[in-house]
Structure 1
Amino acid sequence: MLSSTRFRSWRISRRTLGTLAPFAKNVVNIVEVGARDGLQNEKGAIIPVETKVELINRLARAGVTNLEAGSFVSPKWVPQMGGTADVLKGIDHLPGVHYSVLIPNQRGLDDLFALLDGQPTITDEISIFTAATDAFNQANLNCTTAESLKKLVPVAQAAQDRGLRVRGYVSVVIACPYSGRVDYKRVREVAKELLDMGCYEVSLGDTVGKGRPHEVAEMLEEVKRDVRVEKLAGHFHDTYGTAVANVLTALEHGVRTIDSSVGGLGGCPYSPGATGNVATEDVLYALLGSKYRVAGSNGGTIGLEDIVDIGWWISEKLGRPSASRVVGRLHDCRYLHLHVALSEIRFILLVGRYPMFQKLVSKSYVYDPRPNYPLLITAKRYWIPDASYDNDALTLIFAHGTGFHKENWEPTIDDLQELLLRRGGVRVREIWSIDAPNHGDAAILNENTLSWGYENIFQWEEYARSIHSFLSGFGTGVDVDFKSRNLVGIVQHRRRRMLTVGYYPQIKFHSVIFCELMCMPREYTGPAGNMLSSGAEKRRDTWPSKEEAYKIMKSRGVWSTWDDRVLRLFIECGLRGLPTLDYPSKTVGVTLKCSRAQEAACYRDGTGSTRGYRLLGSFVRNVPTHLIYGAIDDYLPAAVKTDIIDNVVRGVENLASFSRVEGAGHLVNPRGLAQKIYDALNTPLGGIGAKL
């Protein structure tokens, strides 16, 4: 058996080799420094440990694999770095993610080792630092550059003996706030000494943020005389607005690792006037459509929309605007409009190749079908202004599941758009997502009406009726002739939402895609309905704020397993402020738009499920039908799925397509579901249409 130290050293060497392969393939590695270098210079109140933990966890979930988690420096000198040990204990420690800590001296290393004695896997990497000038080191470390390097040798050696990776930093590689222009030869010498003492990589920092692209190029060419470029990283501050340009220059000169900070957080306590690091959002945006690909977790990339969201969130926490130019451009697009706005940014780069994605926009509508139907309808439209379409272009109609709302489809819509962009295939004219009358925004508009007779049982046929009324044009508020459109219904979870058989006028559908269809025989509906309605009535439905609701849900129960984009939209668009009819005396906090009573009323509807079960066989014979299930039979019993396929549909050969989303259960993940929807939309149907 390998000893602990030997095993960890082996793991280090594997990861070191792993950084060399992307180098040859124009893959860019991001080291996210926001939680350490970004926060260390924040003035005012000390940032809570909980906020730092949430920031790091959010970044890791967004695909970041290399993060600075904090620093074992004296809180007397850098107060914001107090509590780093608690931060390391509190973060989730996702597999494949490296959470490094800055170690200034032997005392800091001793504090880390004391922590590792009790929790040996809490981190696998440290960073050490010095500067290219004596003046900066005197201000920062009270010693010369040579003296600081001498002190770092035993620190680096002890860390490596313990099985830790060591990364080096060289500050002020372009200009020093105390001594002016820096001698690039000295940068080369210091970088080489750090590598010689065992650092696997050296990050070259334009700490003052005065560097210009030609100066970065000159500095790198000098350093490369003694140091292999794959051992170098770029670290640029944006004081003079040149950070992104300097990043691109570094990449052109062979560097493949870039330090960046979400929201442009940062500044150096010992560099007067220096502003934040280059924003991670701005780096990601700058590389969109280029020859470079940003590496992320699990072989993927880092989600730009997620990073923008995180940058906005942490900036709000700190009580100031984000320094990111991307976030600044999108400041009106946070939360429910975020995915649409970012799609516009991403797709604008490929105008001409895929013209349907030139300018994706969205708009929310209130549709009034009265007197033909008593409940108001809310819907959201995603479309391309001024685009032209042929007759085969599809209009997608999304219907959500119990307890959700129309915006919860946005991550799937966003991921579907990415697939259409990359792979082509069918053309989509526009997309609509419609709230059930007692869910989402519609629940607020219909609050009084729902209290007049829908409280005990809300039949899901009401959702089907509302969709039929909306598509038929029997009302005001939406000026679209759906009867002339090539419609595809995409339905999540329950009952017979799209089975609007018997409603007139009939609506022609190109096809229907059922996702985790829950129609079932009566022997299943009774027990399931009782369990679900009882759970809905007992669930927590008030929180002090949306922020607190997110924190609670993210750490508990089934919510903690959701795609973070879905959870955020669930909270932002599915919660409302108090008071309400259910809580007339509460004036502070938030509650569900779809109340507990209304959710329970939906689960008490047994006829919708059984009627849908009886009609499904006939429906499939007349309407091209795609069926998508999660591969994990967690919520919907395998017996129900088998019964539908074997006894109701009478074999998958009678479906337009049948598929399962790998690794997903009843609450199917957006990316996997988008892939299956994309496949279904591109399945040849021979031009068959149907009327519902």
Structure 2
Amino acid sequence: MLTSKALFSYHTSRNFLCFATKWTFDNDPLAALDRSSVCLVLLSGVGLTSDIWTPIVERLHHIQLQRRPFLESIWAVDRPSHGDSGVLNESALIGCQGLSPCAEYAAAFSAFLASPLLSSKERANLVVVSHSAGVAAPVYAYSECQLDPPIRSLVLIEPTVFDSSDTGIFEQWIRRTEKFIKNQKTAWTTIDEAMSTNKIWQKFHPEVRTIIANTFFRHTRGSDFSTKTSIAQEVSAFKEVALGVDIGQRLGSIIPKIPTHIIYGSRRDYWPKALDEAFFRLIHNHQHNFASVTPIAGESHFAPQEAPAQVATSIYKAVVATALQESRPVSRL
């Protein structure tokens, strides 16, 4: 398995740079002739980065060595304000009042799809996998950007979508989350100290925690460490997750047009009860339109980081279902 990073640019209110990580595999020579091969594009939630998809990618590689269809390649597109891309855009992000993190991620995703980074074969066989608020990128790209690459299916892991009647509850949750994030330390003397203060990370798979320790931090003020994703940018992105109501409404119009698979954690300990109920109403209301709905037993909203093997298996099932629909016309973003 080979890993590489590519840099692309796009312009909205300002010029931004964004990294895309690519994984390719030493496939059977017949893979080049396989018309059902698939290109996955992975999109991350708030506070997460492309690098921590690696354990899932490794397991997908292992699965596809034993089965068909082939995975032509896997890409992960950074959030412009997070991780290494956030460091590159640090100056551009300063003073961007009214900047919409959801819209920016959608613009970055759309620019990536239109870029020369994708081959014609990859572009013709796209399956988009998004986690949490990452669902905003394909949904807004479909609704607003009006690009024209085909997309064969969507895989939404714990999508952040809610009902308008729950807006007040969501805003209360956002205020608590914002206060919690702002009260966190922003610098530590060691990475081990930083890792020990995040209770959510402590539940992640050991491989994911190792990647976080190796990639999430940078030196500041001499020997101190801070996260590459600034507190200000994480808070900004969390506050805008309130667009989950709008995303849910837009997603409702997309589901009948694009085969859409839902993956969710069965351990419901992240959102308030009312927001969980709104999520399950979405599933119930569109149950006949979803291509599949798969629970990950015992895992939470962060199932991709807690259980990479189970999530990889569920993603690959969606890939298989996509390949079986080869004769079906693809929907276009």
**Out of 285, 299, 305, which is 1:664 matched to?**
299
Please name the residue that 1:416 is paired with: 60
Please name the residue that 2:81 is paired with: 438
1:485 aligns with 2:124: yes
| Structure 1 residues 528 and 679: CA distance shift in structure 2, 3 A | same
Aligned partners of 2:132, 2:279: CA distance in 1, in Å? 14
Cα displacement (A) at 1:523: 3.4
| 8 Å Cα contact 1:620/1:649 also seen in 2 | no
Instruction: Give 1:505's aligned amino acid.
Output: L
Aligned partners of 1:570, 1:600: CA distance in 2, in Å? 19
Aligned partners of 2:87, 2:277: CA distance in 1, in Å? 39
SS of residue in 2 equivalent to 1:632: coil
Cα displacement (A) at 1:426: 1.9
| 8 Å Cα contact 1:472/1:482 also seen in 2 | no
SS of residue in 2 equivalent to 1:549: helix
SS of residue in 1 equivalent to 2:145: coil
Runs of 4+ aligned structure 1 residues displaced above 6 Å come to none
Cα displacement (A) at 1:434: 1.1
| Structure 1 residues 689 and 615: CA distance shift in structure 2, 3 A | same
Please name the residue that 1:592 is paired with: 227
| 8 Å Cα contact 1:472/1:483 also seen in 2 | no
1:680 aligns with 2:318: yes
Cα displacement (A) at 1:533: 1.8
Structure 2 counterparts to residues 253-332 of structure 1, below 5 A: none
1:496 aligns with 2:136: yes
Residue-pair matches, total: 318
| 8 Å Cα contact 2:170/2:275 also seen in 1 | no
Instruction: Give 1:534's aligned amino acid.
Output: K
Structure 2 counterparts to residues 556-575 of structure 1, below 5 A: 557-575=199-217
SS of residue in 2 equivalent to 1:365: strand
TM-score (norm 1): 0.43
Cα displacement (A) at 1:480: 3.9
Residue-by-residue CA offset, 1:579-598 (whole Å, 9 max, x unaligned): xxxxxxx1222111110111
Please name the residue that 1:512 is paired with: 154
Please name the residue that 2:19 is paired with: 378
Please name the residue that 1:539 is paired with: 184
Please name the residue that 1:405 is paired with: 49
| 8 Å Cα contact 1:368/1:376 also seen in 2 | yes
Aligned partners of 2:238, 2:275: CA distance in 1, in Å? 17
Please name the residue that 1:161 is paired with: none
Aligned partners of 1:652, 1:567: CA distance in 2, in Å? 35
Aligned partners of 2:146, 2:37: CA distance in 1, in Å? 25
1:630 aligns with 2:265: yes
Percentage of identical aligned residues = 21
Aligned partners of 1:600, 1:458: CA distance in 2, in Å? 12
SS of residue in 1 equivalent to 2:269: coil
SS of residue in 2 equivalent to 1:658: strand
SS of residue in 1 equivalent to 2:46: coil
**Out of 412, 425, 429, which is 2:68 matched to?**
425
Unpaired runs of 5+ residues, structure 2, are none
Cα displacement (A) at 1:544: 1.7
Please name the residue that 1:449 is paired with: 92
Q: How large is the RMSD of aligned CA atoms in angstroms? A: 2.4
| Structure 1 residues 558 and 571: CA distance shift in structure 2, 3 A | same
| Structure 1 residues 376 and 481: CA distance shift in structure 2, 3 A | farther
| Greater Rg over alpha carbons, structure | 1
Residue-by-residue CA offset, 1:470-520 (whole Å, 9 max, x unaligned): 1112xx7x3644774310110011151211122132331110100011111
Q: Which has the higher contact order (CA 8 A, sep 6+)?
A: 2
| Structure 1 residues 485 and 573: CA distance shift in structure 2, 3 A | farther
SS of residue in 1 equivalent to 2:293: strand
Instruction: Give 2:187's aligned amino acid.
Output: T
Structure 2 counterparts to residues 210-249 of structure 1, below 5 A: none
| 8 Å Cα contact 1:613/1:648 also seen in 2 | no
SS of residue in 1 equivalent to 2:16: coil
Aligned partners of 1:605, 1:372: CA distance in 2, in Å? 17
| 8 Å Cα contact 2:12/2:107 also seen in 1 | no
